[in-house]
A and B are shown apart, each in its own frame.
Chain A
């Protein structure tokens, strides 16, 4: 079941730094890469392409972990255990452009074709923002 973010977490997720996404490869090892994210409508939204390793892993096993951490103050962090709810085409790259504005305040500089947008529902949140859990 989706968990609601605490008031502190709702503020924290507005901050601008990449999230780290962790997925599991077929051989059981973990893949970890930085991604842009946005929190809206009780979900985390990220953007990618169907050719990405991490997306292929999520198609097989929708369990996903996101780490949000302030790179300047590493003791400020939250780990989100979540699940991929759905993914959809990002026609015209509207969503990636939206994320580019969140991160850099400018249009997305790379090709906007072949992008997808992914919805992740948070199931459990641990870390220092809400107190250690």
Chain B
């Protein structure tokens, strides 16, 4: 699906914000319906939101089961201003050479990612924004 346009273009306000290496919180659900919240690094590219994880974590499993997640961004300068993004899982991409997590680490820390733990596998998720709500839309 290279080159496919996402269904929704983010507003200029949100685009300005996602250009910064800020905190994003991803919300998924456990099998029993409990909400599961985790901070994640992300990057916006080609209109999609890209995130990465260790395959052993819980939220990647929940995300792959439901194929959707709720993402939250706040403005570091004004934490009451936020954008809540409903995202659809568009693609799952293995990251065997940990290139993408290194890229994210450089965006956030200026350095490549830490050494992987024994047996650690990384995986990249491409999320399509479907709807944005909040005080920054």
Seen from chain A, the residues whose Cβ lies within 8 Å of a Cβ on chain B are 17-18, 20, 22-24, 28-34, 61, 63-67, 69, 71, 74, 77, 79, 81
Complex: how many Å from CA A18 to CA B108? 21
Asked whether any CB of chain A lies closer than 8 Å to the CB of B128, the reply is no
Contact A79 B74 (CB under 8 A): no
State how many angstroms separate the Cβ of B54 from the closest Cβ of chain A: 11
A-B contact count, CB below 8 Å? 79
Contact A32 B68 (CB under 8 A): no
Binding-face segment, B4-12, B43-51, B79-87, B95-103: B79-87
Give the contact-size bracket for chain B: 20 to 34
Chain A residues within 8 Å of B86, by CB: 29
Q: List 20 A-B contacts (CB under 8 A).
A: A18-B80, A22-B35, A22-B36, A22-B37, A28-B33, A29-B68, A30-B28, A30-B29, A32-B37, A32-B70, A32-B71, A34-B79, A65-B27, A65-B35, A65-B37, A67-B25, A67-B37, A74-B23, A79-B36, A79-B37
Complex: how many Å from CA A1 to CA B14? 40
Contact B76 A71 (CB under 8 A): yes
From A29, A33, A77, give the contact of B82 (CB < 8 A).
A33
Contact A24 B25 (CB under 8 A): no
Seen from chain B, the residues whose Cβ lies within 8 Å of a Cβ on chain A are 22-23, 25, 27-29, 33-39, 41, 68-72, 74, 76, 79-80, 82, 84, 86, 108, 134
The majority secondary structure among interface residues of chain B is strand
Contact B41 A30 (CB under 8 A): no
State how many angstroms separate the Cβ of B25 from the closest Cβ of chain A: 5
The majority secondary structure among interface residues of chain A is strand
Chain A residues within 8 Å of B80, by CB: 18, 34
Chain A residues within 8 Å of B39, by CB: 67, 69, 74, 77
Which residue of the partner chain A has the closest CB to B72?
A32
Which 9 residue pairs spanning A and B have beta carbons closest together? Answer: A22-B35, A67-B37, A65-B35, A30-B27, A30-B70, A32-B72, A32-B27, A74-B39, A69-B39
